[in-house]
Chains A and B, each alone.
Chain A
Amino acid sequence: MADVKLGIAGRTYDVHCADGQEPQLLNLAAVVDEKVRAMPGGTEVRQLLFAALMLADEAQEAKGKAAKAEPQSDSLRAAVALAESREAQARDELKAARAELDALKKAPPSNPAPPNPASAKPSHDRALLQIADRIETLATRIEQLP
């Protein structure tokens, strides 16, 4: 334990505190002393009473502000969580897109599929068969030329 001498309202008080807490205790005593000095006149007890009331008022006000700030900090925490979740999702999407891009780069170039291959192919087949007929007829005619 440490012994500390506190000067408040012109009087010295000997108090004990845990080792290492002396600066903090001196600091608190200075705050009380400042409040006491802020209201001159009256007895020492009255000065200490008003200082205590003012400090209690400040403490209550600080608690009120903290309570009001809590919902805001909850909203902020929720916003941060949402942003983190979206960031993770965006990172996953980016990763997938990169993988897709790499796969496309590695894939051999291919001609785009015809708009309607199912209908286009039979039509081409028919045209080819017709041409085969015509060329066969031509070949026969050329072979028969005198």
Chain B
Amino acid sequence: MDMELDLDESSLAIGRIERALSRIETALTERANRPAAKVPPSDSGDQSALKAEVAAVIGELDRLISEAKNG
């Protein structure tokens, strides 16, 4: 049978994004379920950079979604 798998680059990218978000959700859930005493304080500089990166990625996603909506 001759089947063509029509997955363009955007579909592949969206699949990767979904899987990465799922990994983040799992990691954050595990972290939230840990006893508070056992969570060591992490470097505040690292956390700020992480938050900044999350904000930047969300901003970029918003921009893309808006562009896609407005054609």
Report A's interface with B, CB cutoff 8 A: 111-115, 121, 124-125, 127-132, 134-143, 145-146
Prevailing SS type, chain B contact patch: helix
B residues 6-31 near A (Cβ < 8 Å) are 8-10, 12-14, 16-17, 20-21, 23-24, 27-28, 31
B35 contacts the other chain (CB 8 A): no
Chain B 23-55, CB within 8 Å of chain A: the 1/0 string?
110011001000000011010000000100110
Q: What distance in Å separates the Cβ of A131 from its nearest Cβ neighbour in chain B? A: 6
Interface size on B, residues (CB 8 A): 29
* Inter-chain residue pair count (beta carbon < 8 A): 76
- Determine if A128 and B64 form an interchain contact, defined as CB atoms under 8 angstroms apart: yes
| Contact among B12, B17, B21, B67 for A124, CB-based, below 8 A | B67
Residue pair A135, B67 in contact (C-beta under 8 Å): no
Chain B residues positioned under 8 Å from A130 (CB to CB): 60
